[in-house]
Amino acid sequence: MPSQVETKTKSIEKNVKDIRHYINGQFVDSHSNEWFDNYNPFTNKKINQAASGDEKEIDEAVQSARKAFQGEWGSLKLKDRLAYIYRIADLIDEYIDEIAPLESYDTGLPVSQTKKMVARAAHNFRFYAEMVSSRLVGDAYQVDNEFLNYTIHKPVGIAGLITPWNAPFMLETWKIAPALATGNTVVLKPAEWSPLTANRLAEIIDKAELPDGVFNVVHGYGERAGASLVAHSDVELISFTGETTTGSEIMKNGADSLKQFSMELGGKSPIIVFDDADVDRALDACTWGIFSFNGERCTANSRLYIHENIADSFIERLKERVQNIVVGDPMKEDTQVGPLIHANHYNNVKNYLKIAEKEGCQVFSGNVPEEMSSGNFIPPTIILNADTEMTVVQEEIFGPVITVMTFKEEEEVIKLANNVRYGLAGYVWTKDIQRGHRVAQAVDSGMLWVNSQNVRDLRTPFGGSKHSGIGREGGHYAFEFYTEVQIIHVALGEHHIPQFGK
């Protein structure tokens, strides 16, 4: 008798079809008829193939987005536009039990976690519909009785959205929701390693009956489809989430067409645990913060700085956790860590573990059950005896791997925490409230949590400093990027006008 999980997986296998672009309200093949293969990270077997787009599909998508922007979408009343956004949210909720396993099947992310991500995706749409109706407001400036100056927000135009594979569905919606809610039209280029749920999202948006061309998806490789979107002269903005090196390449390629950029890039975030911390809670947060999402989390606490007074016991307990983490089939409800997205990424992460050994670290790993040998499994791993200049401290590994260092003094740990090129997130654990604030403010990061794991409040700004990003999304901060602010100056009376040549 096959288990429930096997039955579910088989049913996905049976129903999954080849994937096509979604352009101007139609699912279409590439002109070139080129395709790329998509693999299951748990078995490394081919799932299906997806149409591989290039500048032709991008151009068609952009033209249809332009037409929609200048036509029906651009002239909708706000209430009617937002009704579409709420409809998308409702449809995502309706299909959550189908989307979450599909995401797990495609990415290797455990299904208990993809369920939360999909729920958050629906919330992203609702949240931005509410934000636009309540917070997309201008300012008015009165100048005596002479002028009234006021600002309005206009949609920018066509938003080019380029997204990664590590939480694909949620991250796509994190951009699509504010882009559409503020009145733009969209061309999405999702990551080529995780096309299934991007396609499902296109089907959902199709079902929500948005006017043709408002939302388009072009699948394909970054260097072709992605680069064509960036270079297209009719795309006003690019919101990108992905690796830091890709971000800087994109900014170079978009320079000629003077695009606006929002960049959500890599991270190597510190967690600092002082000796007065609530150690039990810090341990829970630290373990979850690095091993959830299979460690493929941009805000993962991948560098642990533990005060030397509590280091031995904390590390022992962390080792115990690592050995007990449930590694397995991402489709199973109790799995905590699944396989990494792709064999290439698996090899990259493996290579970092070799580098760690070469650099003189001790590598302590948990267990992967033997029957998982065909998947891209890296066991939860702790790198010990690390030193600040080492590769494994400086570079983003993006897997279930935490690098541990000890410290004595507050000043010393702040220096260590800041001694990387990244500045996405940070975590500080202490019961001393003054020290908590002091250290939080001294760490170079876009986001910092005191005595907490990464708990998102969608109203707050999301983004990184240094090489972790440019700009902030989230809350009303997204409006700065997805809208153009226009100032209107209105003379109220007969103010002085210089009379040249009179």
The answer to whether 38 and 341 have CB atoms below 8 angstroms apart is no
| Candidate residues 162, 170, 176, 271; the one interacting with ligand NAD per rule CB under 6 A | 162
Which residue in 192, 264, 396, 473 is the catalytic one? 264
Query: From CA 218, how far away is CA 224, in angstroms rounded?
Result: 11
- Mark the segment that binds ligand NAD (CB under 6 A) among 221-229, 367-375, 403-411, 447-455: 221-229
Q: From the CB of residue 160, how many other CB atoms can be counted at a distance below 10 Å?
A: 31
Helix%, strand%, coil% for the chain, nearest 5: 40, 20, 35
When the beta carbons of 12 and 58 are compared against ligand NAD, the nearer one is 58
**Residues binding ligand NAD: what is the number (CB under 6 A)?**
31
The answer to whether 430 and 276 have CB atoms below 8 angstroms apart is yes
According to the binding rule CB under 6 A, does residue 168 interact with ligand NAD? no
According to the binding rule CB under 6 A, does residue 249 interact with ligand NAD? yes
Query: From CA 106, how far away is CA 196, in angstroms rounded?
Result: 7
CB of 133 to ligand NAD, least distance (A): 26
- Residue identified by tokens 């975030």 is 269
DSSP 8-state code for residue 462: B
The answer to whether 378 and 343 have CB atoms below 8 angstroms apart is no
When the beta carbons of 307 and 472 are compared against ligand NAD, the nearer one is 472
Give catalytic status of residue 130 as yes or no.
no
| Candidate residues 60, 103, 236, 264; the one interacting with ligand NAD per rule CB under 6 A | 264
When the beta carbons of 242 and 475 are compared against ligand NAD, the nearer one is 242
Binding mask 341-380 for ligand NAD (x = CB under 6 A): ----------------------------------------
- Mark the segment that binds ligand NAD (CB under 6 A) among 14-22, 76-84, 226-234, 404-412: 226-234
According to the binding rule CB under 6 A, does residue 464 interact with ligand NAD? yes
Q: From the CB of residue 139, how many other CB atoms can be counted at a distance below 10 Å?
A: 10
Radius of gyration in angstroms for the set of CA atoms belonging to the chain, rounded to a whole number = 24
Q: Which 293-312 residues touch ligand NAD, going by CB under 6 A? A: 298
Which residue in 298, 361, 396, 473 is the catalytic one? 298
Q: Are strands 26-28 and 237-241 parallel, antiparallel or unpaired?
A: unpaired
- Written as one string, the DSSP assignment of 201-249 is HHHHHHHTTPPTTSEEE--S-IIIIIHHHHH-TT--EEEEES-HHHHHH
According to the binding rule CB under 6 A, does residue 183 interact with ligand NAD? no
Give catalytic status of residue 411 as yes or no.
no
- Mark the segment that binds ligand NAD (CB under 6 A) among 8-16, 78-86, 97-105, 261-269: 261-269
According to the binding rule CB under 6 A, does residue 178 interact with ligand NAD? no
* Closest-CA residue to 274 (of 302, 312, 317, 305): 305
- CB-based contacts of 453, cutoff 8 Å, min separation 6: 284, 285, 288, 289, 427
According to the binding rule CB under 6 A, does residue 226 interact with ligand NAD? yes
| Candidate residues 38, 166, 262, 301; the one interacting with ligand NAD per rule CB under 6 A | 166
| Candidate residues 110, 178, 183, 266; the one interacting with ligand NAD per rule CB under 6 A | 266
Q: Which 229-248 residues touch ligand NAD, going by CB under 6 A? A: 230, 241-243, 246
- Residue identified by tokens 């796509």 is 172
Query: From CA 114, how far away is CA 133, in angstroms rounded?
Result: 29
Catalytic residues: 264, 298
- Binding interface with ligand NAD (CB under 6 A): 162-166, 171, 189, 191-192, 222-223, 226-227, 230, 241-243, 246, 249-250, 264-267, 298, 396, 398, 424, 464, 468-469
